[in-house]
Amino acid sequence: MKLHVRFLLAFVLVAGVGTQALAQTDPLPSWNDGSAKTAINEFVHATTDQASPRFVPPEERIATFDQDGTLWVEHPIYTQVVYCLDRVPAVVKAKPELAKVEPFKTVLSGDRQAIAKLSIDDLLKIAAATLTGMNVDEFQAEAKKWLDTARDPRWKRPYTELTYLPMSEVLKYLRANGYRTYIVTGGGQDFVRVYSEELYGIPPEQVVGTAGGTSYGYDKNGRPFLTKEPKLLLNDNNAGKPEGIHLMIGRRPYAAFGNSTGDRQMLEYTKAGDGARLAMLVLHDDAKREYAYGPALGLPDTKVGTFTQALYDEATKQGWIVISMKNDWKRVFSWE
């Protein structure tokens, strides 16, 4: 019997006491004390304590996160745009006639200033040429290969290391409390899915993004495959975010995190629900550790993750919490 008891005790130590110890540790160690950290803690307690009048049943616990600028660095240029530009030579190699056609000609020239001036229409042409027309599996393999080797110009690190440690803590904290965490990104759904599970613990089925159609067909051995088509099904920006949430999740989130005007409707939609709802916006005001940009800081609009004064005013009016990267985050990156 003695041995039996010892076994039972060991079992309880692992299964029971372990959980208790976890609950007493600060789940947000990279956050400074302040209104942002307090808001997250209060939201979790209010929605998961069975005695709370604002308790949310586990099956309804959905939290949505924008990616670029909210979970990882977006400045000065979205990672996916870098990928598309880097893919242009391979695309032109397969279709040499593109070498003399704009915007491919400019990209091949390597003239950084000219590339920076490409219009949205030009970028869409480049996106269509580099992100569609291939087998879904081939696309995943290519994107993965690129992510393994590409480095960002400032820190000389893989882009996959440019995730924000405090936000990773929020993801884990919410999941530990029964929330399903979703990415809801203006970026390409298939691109983000390539790394979301490894980087954030968010599986492909919990990535909602700008999505194109695919077409089902067969290879020469009769084996079926899907081809990525240049047909836009969902533009997951602005009003497209709540529309995408309805399409892919079918429930209104209880918490939503963003950092730009493209996230405004998602936060509005989240807060319009009953009970406790959390809406937060990351403000990039830390030129030293990351970047400072956007009209809300009196800085020029860089067209990447625009945080306008109007967005700041709406946040104040609606009770959305603005996260100051400079003041609220003790650490920005895990490797600091």
Where does this chain bind a second copy (CB under 8 A)? 5, 8-9, 11-12, 15-16, 59, 62, 136, 180, 189-190, 193, 197, 203-205, 207, 211, 213-216, 223-226, 233-234, 239, 242-243, 246-251, 265, 268-269, 272
Q: Report, in Å, the least distance between residue 323 CB and a second copy.
A: 23
163 touches 198 (CB < 8 A): no
Q: Residue 230 is inside which H or E element, if any?
A: strand 224-234
Nearer to a second copy, 110 or 222 (CB): 222
Nearer to a second copy, 74 or 190 (CB): 190
Nearer to a second copy, 240 or 294 (CB): 240
207-218 and 224-234 beta bridge pairing = antiparallel
Q: Report, in Å, the least distance between residue 16 CB and a second copy.
A: 8
| Residue 104: burial class (beta carbons within 10 Å; 0-12, 13-18, 19+) | buried
Nearer to a second copy, 18 or 76 (CB): 18
| Residue 316: burial class (beta carbons within 10 Å; 0-12, 13-18, 19+) | exposed
Q: Report, in Å, the least distance between residue 134 CB and a second copy.
A: 13
123 touches 210 (CB < 8 A): no
Q: Report, in Å, the least distance between residue 98 CB and a second copy.
A: 27
Q: What is the DSSP letter of 264?
A: H
Q: Report, in Å, the least distance between residue 249 CB and a second copy.
A: 5
Nearer to a second copy, 10 or 22 (CB): 10
Q: Report, in Å, the least distance between residue 190 CB and a second copy.
A: 7
Cα–Cα distance measured from residue 210 to residue 238, given in angstroms and rounded to the nearest whole number: 11
Radius of gyration (C-alpha) of the chain in whole angstroms: 22
Instruction: Read off φ and ψ for residue 251, nearest 5 degrees.
Output: -135, 150
305 touches 75 (CB < 8 A): yes
Cα–Cα distance measured from residue 318 to residue 316, given in angstroms and rounded to the nearest whole number: 6
Nearer to a second copy, 85 or 239 (CB): 239
